[in-house]
Amino acid sequence: MTDQRIVWVDLETGGLDPFKHQIIQLAAVATDTDLKQIGDPLEVKVIVEPRRVTQEALDMNSYDPEDWRDAVSPTLCRKLFTSFLRDNSTVRKISKRGKAYTVAALGGHNVQFDVSFLRHLYADLFFPADYHTYDTMAFAQCVSLVKGVKFENLKLVTLAEHYGVSTASAHDALADIQMTVEVARHLLGELLLGQQCTDCGDALALTCPCCDA
pLDDT, tens digit (0-9, with 9 covering 90-100), for 169-182: 888 999 999 999 99
pLDDT at 203 over 90: no
In the prediction, which pLDDT does 170 show? 81
- Span of 2-6, 38-42, 128-132 with lowest mean pLDDT: 2-6
In the prediction, which pLDDT does 168 show? 87
**How large a percentage of the chain has pLDDT more than 90?**
84
> Residue 36: CB partners within 8 Å, gap ≥ 6?
207
CB 165 within 8 A of CB 209: no
Confidence of residue 190 (pLDDT cuts 50, 70, 90): confident
Convert the pLDDT of each residue in 89-132 to its tens digit: 999 999 999 999 999 999 999 999 999 999 999 999 999 999 99
In the prediction, which pLDDT does 207 show? 46
Where is pLDDT greater, at 194 or 90? 90
In the prediction, which pLDDT does 210 show? 52
Confidence of residue 205 (pLDDT cuts 50, 70, 90): very low
pLDDT at 212 over 70: no
Where is pLDDT greater, at 211 or 61? 61
Instruction: Using a cut of 0.75, tell me whether the model's pTM lies above it.
Output: yes
Domains in the chain, CATH or no CATH each = 5-207 (3.30.420.10)
In the prediction, which pLDDT does 171 show? 85
pLDDT at 13 over 70: yes
Q: CB atoms < 10 A from the CB of 102, how many?
A: 15
